[in-house]
Amino acid sequence: MSEVLVQATRGNLVENIYRGDVVVVQRDGKVLFSLGDPDKQTYWRSAAKPFQVLPFIEAGGLEKYQITPKELALMCASHGGEPAHVALAKGLLEKIGFSETDLRCGSAAPMNSQAMRKMLKQGETWNQLHNCCSGKHAAMLALAAMKNYNPDHYEEISHPVQQEMLQAISQVTGVAMATIGIGTDGCGVPIYYLSLSAMAYAYAGLSQPEACEHTSRGHAMDHIAKAMTRHPWFVAGTDRLDTILMEVAQGKLLAKLGADGVYCVSVMGEGIGIALKIESGDVRVIDPLIVKLLHQMGFITESERAAMEEQLDLNIYNHRKEVIGKLECIQPFPLLL
């Protein structure tokens, strides 16, 4: 059963509580710590993106198209739709021989509220490049081009692009392809129904690419890890949790948000992966939870914790911008490092 993880206060009184499940796993599959149900099943959502790009890299896509680390980070991203994100996505598509109209993610407003407001003020209309998943879809089109697959309907589970990605997901999680539940994400592509422990196991593997049994897979994971940790702004964007965690930790953490309360972290070099799910799907309550967990378990220092919390701002405000409450994690975590 899910545990109470985070509370929201108004004044000195608790107004809301948020339940969820957390698991910390070693790369050998051993569960180091859990709260709630470590085998809670849910959709991996966008936290699966770093692994969906594996078939493209292993097919030689980085070399063929001269993909830069920033472009690879965008392929793994849920970006904010800020101008630099959009420009990079556009250039990436041109590099692989496609355009915005070839994407099947659908038009979406930028996740970054300032970018969205600026577009509205200037009377501009967002398109598919502003969709937070445009980089992932570009990677799917690139894989189709690499393998000479017909790109039509690349978003459907029956398409060879999606079958190759499903196979990669099966391999990194240790879950048989036939038993992975399939749904449809907001951007129209298949998503995977898995246990939190399987997700954490995959992120534990990503934390130690050099220990991968297969050299080509290890090299691909190393490219992904370096791209994301060295260019975290392109993984999310301004004032976003993923970016803040990775920038402050300076290579010690790899972090990725999934929609509806899913979050995953690799503790780089330690062979440790973390996965969590907020039962209500409220993503903002992840902020105090993940920072406290990382700090108390010894994965980040006190100064790093303070820097993360300062940038995230865990306060609750009224319309006059007065602090009237806060979000706080109420669970203790054991020291692991």
CATH of the domain at 126: 3.40.710
The C-alpha atoms of residue 319 and residue 83 are separated, in whole angstroms, by 29
Whether the CA torsion 191, 196, 202, 204 is positive or negative: it is: positive
Q: What is the pTM of this model?
A: 0.97
- Tens digit of pLDDT for each residue in 244-263? 999 999 999 999 999 999 99
Q: Helices 286-296 and 302-312: crossing angle, nearest 10°?
A: 170
Residue 116 lies in a domain: yes
The Cβ-side half-sphere exposure at 322, using a 13 Å CA radius, reads 5
Phi-psi region at 83: left, alpha or beta (left = phi > 0; alpha = psi -120 to 50) = alpha
State how many domains the chain has. Answer: 1
Residue 334 lies in a domain: no
Residue 51's SS3 state is helix
Residue 197 lies in a domain: yes
- Tens digit of pLDDT for each residue in 29-80? 999 999 999 999 999 999 999 999 999 999 999 999 999 999 999 999 999 9
Residue 270's SS3 state is coil
Whether the CA torsion 155, 181, 135, 227 is positive or negative: it is: negative
Instruction: Count, in order, helices (H) and strands (E) of the chain.
Output: 13, 11
Contact 22, 293 (CB under 8 A): yes
Q: Which two tokens stand for residue 241?
A: 């949790």
Residue 71 lies in a domain: yes
| H or E element, residue 326 | strand 323-329
Residue 337 lies in a domain: no
| H or E element, residue 95 | helix 83-96
Contact 56, 139 (CB under 8 A): yes
Residue 46 lies in a domain: yes
Residue 336 lies in a domain: no
Residue 282 lies in a domain: yes
Q: Which long-range contacts (CB under 8 A, 24 or more apart) does 64-69 make?
A: 64/146, 65/95, 65/96, 65/142, 66/95, 67/92, 67/95, 69/223, 69/226, 69/227, 69/230, 69/231
Across the chain, which has 337 residues, the per-10-residue mean pLDDT values are: 96 97 98 98 98 98 98 98 98 97 98 97 97 98 97 98 98 98 98 98 97 93 98 98 98 97 98 98 97 98 98 96 97 94
Q: Which domain holds residue 53?
A: 3-329
Contact 230, 76 (CB under 8 A): no
